[in-house]
Amino acid sequence: MPVIAYDMPERFVAGTVGQPGDRTFFLQARAGRRVTSVGLEKFQVTLLAERLEELLDEVLRQGGTTAVPAVAPVELQDDEPLEQPIEEEFRVGTMALAWDPEDERVVIEAQEVTEGEEDESEIGSEDPAAVVLRVRITAGQARAFAQRALKIVAAGRPPCPLCGLPLDAQGHVCPRQNGHLG
């Protein structure tokens, strides 16, 4: 299984290209001049951010000598756009998270979606030919990543006040209005 590894990259962020309702989501890692971008779905960005927060909260609860910030450190916040040009290495299927207690690092793995995967959210069998992006970051960097990722997801189309479905600029067919444009 080929691995694209970033151990303490200068930058690791989630970002988008396009307008709300027609956005493409990416994870992007940078170390020096090397940049890797992988495409994924909006729900995967949300799940990754939420699971990162849960993992860090659990490490914080466990106590010990590990310094895990309760919130993202201000100096690690990154609101800059994705590095250009964006060249998608692969689409993400399976993702995994872990805490490495020896190095006190969060390990994030994003595996390429394979032909045999029926459901992208399902943990499938390991495909030896699938490419994996493996990123190792500090707890503070992980908090900052999660904060940015959730902000990006929330920056999409506003929800309809009646049904909660996303509103387009021209409205949408609202089930609460018997199929009339909302």
Look at residue 117 in the predicted model and tell me its pLDDT.
52
CA distance readout (Å), 14 to 5, 80, 102, 111:
17, 11, 26, 16
Look at residue 22 in the predicted model and tell me its pLDDT.
82
Q: Are 108 and 94 in contact (CB under 8 A)?
A: no
Look at residue 96 in the predicted model and tell me its pLDDT.
96
Q: Is residue 89, in this structure, part of any structural domain at all?
A: yes
CATH number at 121 reads 3.30.2450
Total domains present in the chain: 1
Q: Is residue 68, in this structure, part of any structural domain at all?
A: yes
- Dihedral sign for Cα 178, 43, 81, 69, please: positive
Q: What's the rounded Cα separation, in Å, for the pair 22 and 11?
A: 25
Q: Is residue 32, in this structure, part of any structural domain at all?
A: yes
Q: Is residue 182, in this structure, part of any structural domain at all?
A: no
Look at residue 160 in the predicted model and tell me its pLDDT.
76
Q: Is residue 48, in this structure, part of any structural domain at all?
A: yes
Least confident of 32-36, 70-74, 79-83: 70-74
List, as own/partner pairs, every contact residues 127-130 make where C-beta atoms lie below 8 angstroms and the sequence separation is at least 24, other chains included. 127/1, 128/1, 129/1, 129/2, 130/1, 130/93
Confidence of residue 116 (pLDDT cuts 50, 70, 90): low
Phi then psi for residue 113, to 5 deg, are -65, 140
54: left (phi > 0), else alpha (psi -120 to 50), else beta? Answer: alpha
Q: Is residue 151, in this structure, part of any structural domain at all?
A: yes
Task: Look up the domain containing 142 and give its range.
Answer: 3-157
Q: What's the rounded Cα separation, in Å, for the pair 67 and 62?
A: 11
Q: Is residue 180, in this structure, part of any structural domain at all?
A: no
Both tokens assigned to 20: 């709300």
Give the residue, 149 or 180, on which the prediction is more confident: 149
Tens-digit pLDDT profile for residues 118-127: 444 444 456 6
Tens-digit pLDDT profile for residues 8-61: 999 999 999 988 778 899 999 999 999 999 999 999 999 999 999 999 999 988
Give the residue, 68 or 84, on which the prediction is more confident: 84
Mean pLDDT rounded to a whole number for the chain: 86
Average pLDDT score over residue span 92-103:
94
Give the residue, 112 or 179, on which the prediction is more confident: 112
Look at residue 64 in the predicted model and tell me its pLDDT.
65
Average pLDDT score over residue span 85-97:
95
Q: Is residue 176, in this structure, part of any structural domain at all?
A: no
